[in-house]
């Protein structure tokens, strides 16, 4: 989680994107497979969320769209709970475990629109064999989000910039 938080903070401090970071690890060995940061603004791509970037990079590194295909159990560690889009991508990615820092409500508190994600999203992933841990270093995640807000980071998809 510390890596995901540092990626998010570095992304803010370098002006390269939004306040979100993510990484994919091998659950058994803790080996880092891939990292991702939010590059929505710089890439001009609404899908370039940290989780999506980390999953995409892991799939490229593994040369497979299904991260579970090789029998390796991988986890996605993210500085914040997934938005509706990232939640939707997780089951198809092959990720077996998700670890989250800040909550959806914390991102919404600074103005982000996290989309219409179901209330029981953790249970929905669980029904697909994907375990979830939340509130890991939550306050640190909140601090990263607030750091972005204090630096007047662009709150995209908020309705204000439509």
Q: Which range is least confidently modeled, 10-19, 82-91, 149-158?
A: 149-158
Q: Higher model confidence: residue 118 or residue 26?
A: 26
Place of tokens 């995901």: 4
Averaged pLDDT for residues 10-36 = 96
Query: Which tokens hold the place of 117?
Result: 């994600």
What phi, psi does 160 have (nearest 5°)?
-75, -25
- pLDDT value of position 115: 87
97-146 pLDDT tens trace = 999 999 999 999 999 989 888 899 999 999 999 999 999 999 999 999 99
**What is the Cα–Cα distance from 82 to 72, expressed in whole angstroms?**
22
**What is the Cα–Cα distance from 72 to 148, expressed in whole angstroms?**
35
Roughly what angle, to the nearest 10 degrees, separates helices 50-62 and 2-13?
A: 120
- pLDDT value of position 86: 97
CB-neighbour burial class of residue 64 (10 A; exposed 0-12, middle 13-18, buried 19+):
middle
The residue annotated as part of the active site, out of 51, 75, 81, 114, is: 51
**In the predicted model, is pLDDT for residue 162 greater than 80?**
no
Give how far the C-alpha of residue 46 lies from the chain's centroid of Cα atoms, to the nearest Å. 14
Query: Residue 161 — very low, low, confident or very high, per pLDDT cuts 50/70/90?
Result: very low
**What is the Cα–Cα distance from 12 to 155, expressed in whole angstroms?**
12
Active site residue 75: no
53-86 pLDDT tens trace = 999 999 999 999 999 998 889 999 999 999 999 9
pTM of the full structure: 0.94
**In the predicted model, is pLDDT for residue 156 greater than 90?**
no
**What is the Cα–Cα distance from 104 to 113, expressed in whole angstroms?**
9
> What is the 8-class DSSP label of residue 88?
H
């Amino acid at each position: 989680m510390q890596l995901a938080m540092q990626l998010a903070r570095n992304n803010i401090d370098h002006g390269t994107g939004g306040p979100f970071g993510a990484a994919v690890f091998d659950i058994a060995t803790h080996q880092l497979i891939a990292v991702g940061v939010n590059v929505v603004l710089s890439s001009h791509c609404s899908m370039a969320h940290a989780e999506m970037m980390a999953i995409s990079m892991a799939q490229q590194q593994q040369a497979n769209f299904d991260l579970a295909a090789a029998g390796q159990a991988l986890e996605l560690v993210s500085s914040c709970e997934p938005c509706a889009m990232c939640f939707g991508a997780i089951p198809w990615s092959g990720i077996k475990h998700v670890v989250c820092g800040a909550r959806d409500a914390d991102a919404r508190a600074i103005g982000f629109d996290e989309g219409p994600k179901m209330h029981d999203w953790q249970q929905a992933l669980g029904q697909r064999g994907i375990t979830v841990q939340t509130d890991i270093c939550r306050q640190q995640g909140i601090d990263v989000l607030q750091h972005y807000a204090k630096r007047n980071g662009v709150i995209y998809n908020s309705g204000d910039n439509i």
